Amino acid sequence: MRIAVIGVGYVGLVTAAGLAETGNIVIGYDIDPQKVNKLSQGKSPIYEPGLDRLLERNLQEGRLSFTNQLAEAITHAELIFLALPTPSGTEGEADLSFVFQAADSIAANLCQIAEKEGILFPRIIVSKSTVPVGTARRLQRFFDERLPNQIYVASNPEFLREGYAVEDFLKPDRVVIGAVHPPVLEKMRQLYLPYTRQGNPIYLMDWESAELTKYAANAFLAVRISFMNELARLCEQVGANIDWVRLGMGADNRIGRRYLFAGVGYGGSCFPKDTRALAATARQYNLSLSLVEATIQINHLQRKYFWEKVQTYYRGNLRGRTLAVWGVAFKPDTDDIREAPALDILQWLLTEGATVRVFDPVALPNLQKQYPEWPLYYAPSAYEAAREAEGLLILTEWGEFRQPDWDTLKQNLKLPVIFDGRNLYDPKEMEKIGIDYISVGRAPVYAYSSHAPSS
């Protein structure tokens, strides 16, 4: 099939490369000429394991190309995927301005193409962006007014986990397709058959159900995380260990083991935005999704709860102290810092007058670009970040942080204390090593000092 992907950000780029991998001819469109030029050279602007190889292979085979000319992208496209940002509005609602600006440009260009080149045939517009319920129906009305009987809209939400996006696209757990025209459903089903040969399902449904499925899935996962974070606070009060509670819960096959880890809270481009948008959609229908609203609030409070642990240890006196931070990405195996818990923690540390030495394996360039005014020391390694620091905060569970050289780390730290927002280490081991260790949902370890320092 001939396919255009409008917007080659995170979702669009993975979609374009993934669709080309099965033999489709794909053109990715973006308004940024520098991004297009970089992609045309086989260089991905985002960090995602496996994406570089996928990009390079399909460029070399001639199945994938990029352009900043919309007409070039859509002239011969049977399917036009919309992979555009839908940021949060002032009330948490999804901002659809990028989606409808693109729709307007597509309609205008298709009219010109039909008039000048005589190329006119039915096309499918596929909404890949995460959009509120009712968006596909609005898009269909929009195109019906401009190109009657020429455009058919489908909803095809993405379920890509950052760090595993290539694997998720090529071997999806499920594919969800929403449409009201049977030929459109069949065309989309045929598109995805190569990715589901192992028997994973393709679900065909209406527009609204497909759109809501995406929000419901992300909101439910966020609920699980916030539930465990709230439960971790109770564990600390009653003397329980959240790790043991998690294992006991997860062994129940009705619950499962995934997304039951307590920590400093969730972040990223999906969970925060999608929970807010789902709650906002409910309010538009005079409903209150109390569980979703509580999930959002708990996640916000969890960052402050972790921050209070740091303040308590130093008796509220952070001014002039040097602290190290490991991890700024919202999760490992990505350079994405959108709504990462580390951003709040870093800002609070700087506001309190601390000197901060920060390290992340891939996300530091994004942090420096987004917050150039922050007076941070960008360390070239994890151990260099810890040098002469009076404490270490761990905010992303990168694999290389899991088994550090403890002798080297202790030698570098001026004060051997770790605030672990991801519960990477065994408290008993920390006691043996001689490190003060404050984690989430577990009893603190004071192996170096009998109590927090007073100055």
pLDDT at 120: 80
pLDDT at 114: 87
Are 145 and 45 found together in one domain? yes
For residue 138, CA distances in Å to 98, 99, 133, 135, 142 come to: 14, 11, 10, 5, 6
**Residue 250 banded pLDDT, cuts 50, 70, 90:** very high
Q: Rounded to an integer, what distance in angstroms lies between the CA atom of residue 135 and that of residue 119?
A: 27
Query: Any idea what the CATH number is for the domain that residue 276 is in?
Result: 1.10.1040.10
Are 186 and 247 found together in one domain? no
Contact 267, 302 (CB under 8 A): no
End-to-end CA distance of the chain: 67
What does the DSSP 8-state code read for residue 120? -
Q: Does the structure show a pLDDT above 60 at 451?
A: no
Biggest alpha carbon–alpha carbon distance for the chain: 81
Give the range of the structural domain holding residue 179, as residue numbers without chain letter.
2-205
Residue 453 is assigned to a structural domain of this protein:
no
Look up residue 246 and give its two tokens.
Answer: 């998690």
Averaged over 17-31, what is the pLDDT?
A: 97
Are 379 and 431 found together in one domain? yes
Sign of torsion, CA 229 376 321 327?
positive
**Residue 454 banded pLDDT, cuts 50, 70, 90:** low
**Residue 291 banded pLDDT, cuts 50, 70, 90:** very high
* Tally of domains in the chain: 3
Averaged over 173-194, what is the pLDDT?
A: 97
Q: Where is the domain boundary, 186, 205, 224? A: 205
Residue 58's H or E segment, with its range, is helix 51-60
Identify which of 424, 418, 430, 429 has the alpha carbon closest to the alpha carbon of residue 262. 424
Q: What is the pLDDT of residues 400-444, one digit of tens each?
A: 999 999 999 999 999 999 999 999 999 999 999 999 999 999 999
**Residue 452 banded pLDDT, cuts 50, 70, 90:** low
Sign of torsion, CA 49 52 55 61?
negative
Are 281 and 308 found together in one domain? no
pLDDT at 137: 97
Q: Does the structure show a pLDDT above 90 at 269?
A: no
Q: Rounded to an integer, what distance in angstroms lies between the CA atom of residue 343 and that of residue 236?
A: 25
Are 133 and 273 found together in one domain? no
Residues 6+ apart with CB under 8 A from 195: 18, 22, 169, 170, 171, 172, 175
Q: Rounded to an integer, what distance in angstroms lies between the CA atom of residue 3 and that of residue 55?
A: 16
Are 111 and 191 found together in one domain? yes
User: Exposed, middle or buried, 345 (CB in 10 Å: 0-12/13-18/19+)?
Assistant: buried
Contact 88, 94 (CB under 8 A): yes
Residue 70 is assigned to a structural domain of this protein:
yes
Residue 455 is assigned to a structural domain of this protein:
no
Q: Which residues are the active-site residues?
A: 270
Residue 289 is assigned to a structural domain of this protein:
yes
Return contacts of 90-97, CB within 8 angstroms, 24+ apart.
91/280, 91/283, 92/276, 92/277, 92/279, 92/280, 93/132, 93/276, 93/277, 93/280, 93/281, 93/284, 94/130, 94/131, 94/132, 94/273, 94/277, 94/280, 96/131, 96/132, 96/135
pLDDT at 338: 95
Residue 443 is assigned to a structural domain of this protein:
no
Q: Where is the domain boundary, 161, 179, 205? A: 205
Q: Does the structure show a pLDDT above 60 at 77?
A: yes
Q: Rounded to an integer, what distance in angstroms lies between the CA atom of residue 307 and that of residue 422?
A: 13
Q: Does the structure show a pLDDT above 80 at 214?
A: yes
Q: Does the structure show a pLDDT above 60 at 74?
A: yes
Residue 421's H or E segment, with its range, is none
Query: Any idea what the CATH number is for the domain that residue 378 is in?
Result: 3.40.50.720
Are 180 and 257 found together in one domain? no
Q: Rounded to an integer, what distance in angstroms lies between the CA atom of residue 137 and that of residue 207?
A: 7
Residue type, 118: G
pLDDT at 89: 87
Averaged over 4-31, what is the pLDDT?
A: 97
Q: What is the pLDDT of residues 323-343, one digit of tens each?
A: 999 999 999 999 999 999 999
Residue 449 is assigned to a structural domain of this protein:
no
Other CB atoms within 10 Å distance of the CB of residue 216: 14
Q: Does the structure show a pLDDT above 80 at 383?
A: yes
Q: Does the structure show a pLDDT above 60 at 384?
A: yes
Q: Rounded to an integer, what distance in angstroms lies between the CA atom of residue 100 and that of residue 106?
A: 10
Are 293 and 404 found together in one domain? no
Averaged over 147-168, what is the pLDDT?
A: 95
Cα torsion 411, 413, 418, 419 to 10°: value is -160
Q: What is the pLDDT of residues 106-142, one digit of tens each?
A: 999 999 998 888 878 899 999 999 999 999 999 999 9
Contact 196, 175 (CB under 8 A): yes
Q: E strands within 104-258?
A: 123-127, 151-155, 175-178, 202-205
Are 350 and 226 found together in one domain? no
Return contacts of 334-337, CB within 8 angstroms, 24+ apart.
334/47, 334/48, 334/162, 334/163, 334/362, 334/363, 335/46, 335/47, 335/362, 335/363, 335/365, 335/366, 336/10, 336/46, 336/162, 336/268, 336/269, 336/363, 336/366, 337/363, 337/366, 337/367, 337/370
Are 64 and 9 found together in one domain? yes
pLDDT at 449: 74
Are 49 and 166 found together in one domain? yes
Q: What is the pLDDT of residues 25-59, one digit of tens each?
A: 999 999 999 999 999 999 999 999 999 999 999 99
Contact 413, 431 (CB under 8 A): no
Number of alpha carbons in the 13 Å side-chain half-sphere of residue 264: 33
pLDDT, the chain, mean? 95
Q: Where is the domain boundary, 297, 328, 352? A: 297
Residue 447 is assigned to a structural domain of this protein:
no
Q: Rounded to an integer, what distance in angstroms lies between the CA atom of residue 398 and that of residue 342?
A: 13
**Residue 4 banded pLDDT, cuts 50, 70, 90:** very high
Q: Vertex 390, ends 411 and 454: CA angle to 5°?
A: 130
Residue 448 is assigned to a structural domain of this protein:
no
pLDDT at 192: 98
Are 74 and 112 found together in one domain? yes
pLDDT at 201: 97
